[in-house]
Chains A and B, each alone.
Chain A
Amino acid sequence: MTFIEYKSLTPAQRVTYKVKEFFSLLPGRCKGFFSAIGKFFVNLFKSFGAGLKGYGARFGAGDMSTKLSYLIMGFGNFTRGQVGKGLAFLAAEVLYILYMANFGLVYLDKFDTLGLVAKREIILPNGRKSVEFVDNSMLILLYGTMSILLTIVFIAVYVANTKAAYEAEQTQKAGKKNLTLKQELADFLDGKYHITLLATPVILISVFTILPLVFMIMIAFTNYDQNHVPPGNLFTWVGLQTFRDVFKVSEGASKGYTFIQLTKWTIVWAIFATFSNYILGMVLALMINKKSIKFKALWRTLFVITIAVPQFVSLLLMQQILQDDGVMNVILGYLGIAPISFFNSTALVARVTVIVVNMWVGVPYTILQTSGILMNIPEDLYESARIDGATPVVQFFQITLPYMLFVTTPYLIQTFVGNINNFNVIYLLTAGGPKKDLSLYQAGQTDLLVTWLFNLTMNSNDYNTAAAVGILVFIVCATLSLITFNLSKSSRNEEEFS
């Protein structure tokens, strides 16, 4: 369809066209997304293969001391005047071997079964019987994962060691002098500065984010639920059974039914929470920034002050205000309206309440973040619209909204994903309630998938289901982000907004 044809459509037809276009492009984008993931792994293996190839080639080409550093790390550097570097490699090797011998191997050994003997009876020195816990599946899994990750790191260091030895040999053969430790350290402040800067954050993230994450992903493939809590009980690998349970609908309070219900509500919530904040925030920002309006700072402060108050305070406060005997119902009483039970009557009332309260929390953020962009909309667009006799409402829908959508798509997606994971609002306001639908498993009618995940871990110890739900939420969020990320990237190439 050409631009002229598009312009000659009625607004309704334009919307259908846009929607159609979006969905017809969707498969392509999804394909692009998955092929990108595929490419990522292919590249990973390719670089892995290349590393391995270089590893073999260097062994063939190197001299005796280079060959020896394949066994004793750092040997090649050591004999060629790089004592400090050689010692560092050697220390890495010794530490790794010590770790594996004393600690890692014990757990790696049981990693395939996650332990066979949960507990056994022992007789204490005083003659009494007691129970001793033997294998703790959870610790085996945790430390096993840790050992595997450490081994991967060690292999990387090991390959780097062979490379360093070979390079040192080549430099020496070429008649040049190898860098001293001091020179090499100095390079870490310039040429290799990225390593210096990234080292600490990467280590911290690996230990406290990646390791726990890998551990939890593995949990999703075990039967670590309330019947298999160590110590005292063992859990083991069950493959995809957990995922099957999450999708299976059965009689009574089943996980499958709960998952479907909560997914529906999570999507509805995310859509309403995102767009209600976005539109209202933008309208308010426009009003505040209108040229003829005075006291701009005052208006802005009035709204922005709610951001400044810590969110848990404002949410707990709202929760108290909206109690059955709270001040909101007192005010309603003055107005002659019967008191409303905001959180405990029906699902609908509670859901509307959380969406409205979320507006109170979220609109100020939109005001703050869109004010700057609104100022940048070319003024002549409005001028020509005014000359054509467009009313402010028409101007909003024809100029402001399209422009803002165009510029802030990444922000909007971020908010949408943020709302799917919006734990605080639900947890502090309703804690999931009302809990009248008894066929929901460990959840209430305003629970989102994330708060369900939280309940599953904290209240019912269904760690495997929680992990599986977490993975599913991740897949949804990641797909959404990446698809729209591509979308905004392609739209970024369009130089102008028309």
Chain B
Amino acid sequence: MIKSYKLQRTIADVVIYVILAVLGIIWVSPLVWLFLHSFRAEGGVTVPYVFPKQFTLENYSKLFTDTDVFDYPRWFLNTFVVAVFSCIISTLSVLMVSYTFSRLRFKSRKMFINIGMILGMFPGFMTMIALYYLLKAMNLTQTLPALVICYSAGSGLGFAISKGFFDTIPRALDEAATIDGATRNQIFWKIILPISKPILVYTVLTAFIGPWCDFILVRIIMGDKRENYTVAMGLQKMVDREYKQNYFKQFLSGSVVVAIPITILFLKMQNYYVEGVTAGGVKG
């Protein structure tokens, strides 16, 4: 009896290993394909076989040297600058708003929270056109600061997760500090923030990655001003029908170049991410 139970368990484990391995391969193989074919020397858009026949670094070198039509290095720099600035502004806004809603008590707090939640439920695209004309009135269209504004201005609305995190920090900490004569300002910077590393990392990470992934706002704001594109917009342009034939392999290598730093960042911060999300996002 016991033996058969053990056997059953081993069989179950083997089945699970097989399923995990098969699914794992399915999940990773598109990325492997991307990586391998970014080194492909022959062919244009597609080849009638799975593995490339010849490997070369030309796709990568072309990406950084052949900048007449698609100025990839410039786009990379643009995205980096925009990401850094909007990351700083977004992180500060999110933390300030969520700390306020979580720890401070004032008269219209509930109303502010409700308004924040309601605003978050409108489809983001609704405001695009108005935003464009607003930026145009400020003479900012086709510039990078416009992108920074778009990515970070509304970020305060994403307070839910970090508010959830702050809610889990015992209030006794604040009270003890208040008795010791700390102002709320000092409590925020010197007590709460230092122990909020997971949510801090999570917020910084999401804010930093945002600009690397957006391709809608860039299209509307930049129009045909190519030198101010970001990587996402540029890469999407590369697979447009008119360029695809010549630039598809550069698209692949360009994708790898964007994906690698973000992947490393993400894997390093994965634990913070999980901690941040589970602590802040889900409450039973």
**A residues engaging B (CB < 8 A)?**
40, 138-139, 142, 189-191, 193-194, 196-198, 200-202, 204-205, 207-213, 215-216, 284, 287-288, 290, 292-293, 299, 301-314, 316-318, 320-321, 323, 325-327, 330-331, 334, 360, 363-364, 368-369, 371-373, 392, 406-408, 410-411, 417, 421, 423, 450, 453-454, 457-458, 463, 466-467, 470, 473-474, 477-478, 481, 492, 497
Contacts and interface: CB of A to CB of B under 8 A. Distances in A.
13 contacts: A40-B111, A193-B100, A193-B185, A198-B100, A204-B154, A209-B119, A299-B24, A316-B236, A316-B239, A316-B255, A410-B281, A450-B125, A457-B128
B241 to A, nearest CB: 12
Contacts of A371: 274
A194 B106 contact: yes
A106 B119 CA distance: 30
Given A368-B273, A407-B284, A463-B129, 18 more contacts: A40-B114, A139-B133, A193-B183, A198-B96, A204-B154, A205-B157, A216-B129, A287-B16, A290-B13, A302-B24, A310-B212, A320-B239, A360-B30, A368-B270, A454-B125, A470-B125, A474-B121, A478-B118
A457 B129 contact: yes
Contacts of B255: 313, 316-317
Contacts of B137: 142
Interface residues of B, number: 91
A312 B213 contact: yes
A204 B156 contact: yes
Contact of A292 (B9, B99, B111, B232): B9
B134 A306 contact: no
Contacts of B16: 287, 290, 293
Interface in B230-274: 232, 235-236, 239, 248, 251, 255, 258-259, 262-263, 265-267, 270, 273-274
Contact of B19 (A287, A305, A316): A287
Interface of B: 9, 12-13, 16-17, 19-20, 23-24, 26-28, 30-31, 33-34, 45-46, 48-50, 92-93, 96-97, 99-100, 104, 106, 109, 111-112, 114, 117-119, 121-131, 133-134, 137, 149-150, 152-157, 183-185, 188, 209, 212-213, 215-216, 220, 232, 235-236, 239, 248, 251, 255, 258-259, 262-263, 265-267, 270, 273-274, 277-278, 281-284
Q: Which 6 A-B pairs have the closest CB atoms?
A: A201-B156, A212-B130, A308-B266, A208-B153, A212-B127, A189-B185
B282 A450 contact: no
Contact of A308 (B49, B117, B183, B263): B263
A369 B281 contact: yes
Nearest to B239: A316
Contacts of B31: 305-306, 309, 314, 317
Contacts of B185: 189-190, 193, 196
A316 B236 CA distance: 8
A272 to B, nearest CB: 19
A317 B96 CA distance: 38
Given A292-B13, A326-B46, A368-B277, A309 B262 contact: yes
Contacts of B262: 308-310
Given A292-B9, A317-B34, A466 B126 contact: yes
Contact of A470 (B126, B152, B212): B126
Nearest to B264: A308
Contact of A212 (B9, B33, B134): B134
Given A213-B126, A373-B278, A307 B157 contact: no
A368 B153 CA distance: 29
Contact of A193 (B24, B104, B130): B104
Contacts of A198: 96-97, 100, 112
A304 B270 contact: yes
Contacts of B106: 194
Contacts of B19: 287
Contacts of A196: 185
Contact of B99 (A197, A210, A466): A197
Contacts of B28: 302, 305-306
Nearest to A187: B183
B150 A312 contact: no
Contacts of A330: 48-50
B134 A474 contact: no
Contacts of B284: 406-407, 492, 497
B235 A408 contact: no
B244 to A, nearest CB: 9
Contact of A318 (B17, B20, B30): B30
A193 B183 CA distance: 9
A366 B154 CA distance: 26
Contacts of A139: 133
B259 A194 contact: no
Contact of B267 (A193, A215, A301, A417): A301
Contacts of A363: 27
A305 B258 CA distance: 14
